[in-house]
Structure 1
Amino acid sequence: MISTAELSPRTLSDEEFALFQRLVKRLSGIALGPQKKPLLLCRLGPRLRALGLRSFGEYYRRVTAAGGEGELVHMLDCICTNETHFFREREQFELLEREILPAWHESAGHGGAPFARGRRPLRAWSAACSTGEEPYSIAMTLLDSLPSPDRGAAAGQAPSWAGDAPVGAPGICILATDLSVRALDQAQRAVWPIERASEIPEERLRTYMLRGTGTSEGLMKARPELRRLITFRRFNLLDAAPRRFGLFDLIFCRNVLIYFDAATKASIVARLIASLAPSGYLFLGHAEGLHGTDHRVRCVGPSVYRLQPPGGLEGSRNTSSPEHASCLRISE
């Protein structure tokens, strides 16, 4: 009998690595430099063992053969890095709370209730949401920016891309996307080890998280009123955002651009900027600044950029279109 250890691929040739470099770049845009060869061996090795394959060449032939699409998803799940935590890069969340949200509520509400019927919802996109810590951090921050009566309206009547609320309903819309199916599954479950609680301010932890008991001991879960604000979709940043996504007041795409080459990064950023609503904000990772390369946006904080209206006139883009009026239905 052949043991699992005997089946385990111990080497990845330069030729095999080059095949995967090109494949991963084409599918995801991620550039695997020579230094990533040990990482690929480590990440894909267990998958090869599970499939009983003896070499990376065999695995490459499997994922590129007709009918190999499902295994390609597994491969990308193995390769994608899902490191994240709640309220990562806290200075950006402080800017959001202190300046951006008060100004938005004042503008959207015109001095009245921000989520009164007829007001458009605040729309946010977590474009590389990983296991969900970022979109749930956004949701907590947005809810906490509201007066108490409006929190109930936003959480209880939040529009959804799944179509479970009528177009034009008041609330907060958060779209969370990622390439990794495995990460999205965890994000939708909204369950994390209790150790992650230390990343969340104590008051928000009490308000928005449930502590597991019994068989769920050692875990925490986001409360329903938080979960219902967020819709999850699988999305590749290499693709153009579908028109049904609409435009967003806030776009977070943080700590993912570092994995792309300069040309791919520029293309992704251009598409993200094109998805911003008038005077919308783009949040990048601290190591991913635009450094003045795109004059359509202006830096207003640590790797936070605001869309400049054409001609420098606020509100010169049409805000009466359906993309701005509501959260449109997004089908699977």
Structure 2
Amino acid sequence: MSPTWLPEAAPEAVRPEPSEQLIERDLVMTQADFTHICELIHRHAGIVLVANKRNMVYSRLARRLRHHGMTHFSQYLALLKQEGLTGEWGAFTNALTTNLTAFFREAHHFPLLARHVTGRSGPVRVWSAAASTGEEPYSIAMILQEALGHRANEARVVATDIDTDALAQARAGVYPLEQVQKLDEVRIKRFFMRGKGDKAGLAKVRPELAAMVEFGPLNLLSPQWPVSGPFDAIFCRNVMIYFDKATQARILSRFAPLLKPDGLLFTGHSENFSYTSQAFRLRGQTVYELASRA
């Protein structure tokens, strides 16, 4: 029997969202329901939802109500209250989490990471704190392989996210071929296998690359994080834009002791923490270093 996966290829996968314009408004959501949902997701995940996100909330949670045979959002909220932080809470959080990512997104970060780790002594460790569907941590792993050569076997990428559905997709390492083909041909051949038969049109991360990445769930608002430093770099990009300033400052203060003295924090293009935290100072375009560094 011929293999399912062949060398070469690649993809990406973002959970498809139904068009809000096409959603049939057959479910009842009151303003009180929407306000309650905003309070719950902020308290549980730090996400701040404003008034113009009401349609988004409706469309993303509608499938959960239909799954339970409900017609009113008040019924769904009662279910969440009944179950506490178990059961349906995971699906609730996953539905309201935005997963917009791509391989080598914000490309200017990766040459800097390569320079930062080249020639370092000891195993290199990088944390992708908002791993989503895996494109970011796998991009980091590719850079580590290219920069470290045979020493990449010792390197590890810790990849975490609050969205368990996204993490499951990330662990699988399977993406639409059209997404992976945006990479250069050398990386496609080195790091991916092309799907065949029922996997045609898909690409899978090669086992040696996948072995460098450790996936696990993590809520940045949790009082304890299941990760330990020190890290050579932390990537937390395009997630804290959904948090208020107080939450951002609190998370940044917790990042600082997890970095090596010369470690780097990579953030998103829309994020500026120069006046949010005294623990970090801006080093370059959306890249920070510890303020205590001599």
TM-score range, shorter chain: 0.7 to 0.9
C-alpha deviation, 1:220, in angstroms: 0.4
> Residue 87 of structure 2: SS of its match in structure 1?
helix
Corresponding letter in the other structure for 2:127: W
> Residue 175 of structure 1: SS of its match in structure 2?
strand
Q: Aligned ranges for residues 150-229 of structure 1 at < 5 Å?
A: 150=150, 154-155=152-153, 171-229=154-212
CA distance in 2, matches of 1:28, 1:50: 23
Corresponding letter in the other structure for 2:130: A
CA distance in 2, matches of 1:245, 1:72: 26
CA distance in 1, matches of 2:147, 2:248: 32
CA distance in 2, matches of 1:303, 1:285: 6
Gaps of 5+ in 1: 1-6, 109-119, 156-170, 313-332
Q: Deviations over 1:172-213 (max 9, x none)?
A: 011100001100000000001111113322211110000000
Q: Is the 8 A contact 2:249 2:277 kept in 1?
A: no
1:304 matched to 2:287: yes
Corresponding letter in the other structure for 2:219: N
> Residue 265 of structure 2: SS of its match in structure 1?
strand
Q: Aligned ranges for residues 245-260 of structure 1 at < 5 Å?
A: 245-260=228-243
Q: Is the 8 A contact 1:279 1:306 kept in 2?
A: yes
CA distance in 2, matches of 1:269, 1:9: 42
- Residues matched between the structures, number: 271
Q: Is the 8 A contact 1:241 1:271 kept in 2?
A: no
Q: Is the 8 A contact 1:279 1:309 kept in 2?
A: no
> Residue 245 of structure 1: SS of its match in structure 2?
coil
Determine the structure 2 residue equivalent to 1:18. Answer: 35
Aligned match for 1:290, one of 257, 273, 288: 273
Aligned match for 2:222, one of 235, 239, 256: 239
Determine the structure 1 residue equivalent to 2:88. Answer: 71
> Structure 1 residues 9 and 61, CA, compared in 2 at 3 Å: closer, same or farther?
farther
C-alpha deviation, 1:299, in angstroms: 2.0
> Residue 271 of structure 1: SS of its match in structure 2?
helix
Corresponding letter in the other structure for 1:141: I
1:93 matched to 2:110: yes
Instruction: Single out whichever of 276-285 and 128-137 deviates more from structure 2.
Output: 276-285
Corresponding letter in the other structure for 1:94: P
Q: Is the 8 A contact 1:92 1:301 kept in 2?
A: no
Root-mean-square deviation (CA), in Å? 1.8
1:141 matched to 2:143: yes
CA distance in 2, matches of 1:284, 1:154: 24
Higher RCO (CA-CA < 8 Å; seq separation 6+): 2
C-alpha deviation, 1:240, in angstroms: 4.2
Instruction: Single out whichever of 241-250 and 64-73 deviates more from structure 2.
Output: 241-250
Aligned match for 1:58, one of 75, 91, 110: 75
> Residue 108 of structure 2: SS of its match in structure 1?
helix
> Residue 104 of structure 2: SS of its match in structure 1?
coil
Determine the structure 1 residue equivalent to 2:257. Answer: 274
Q: Deviations over 1:121-147 (max 9, x none)?
A: 101000000000000000000110023
Q: Is the 8 A contact 1:29 1:238 kept in 2?
A: yes
Gaps of 5+ in 2: 1-23
Corresponding letter in the other structure for 2:116: I
Q: Deviations over 1:259-314 (max 9, x none)?
A: 1111111111221223212111000001112125434333222111122445x2xx
CA distance in 2, matches of 1:68, 1:295: 33
CA distance in 1, matches of 2:75, 2:85: 12
TM superposition score normalised by structure 1: 0.77
Determine the structure 1 residue equivalent to 2:133. Answer: 131
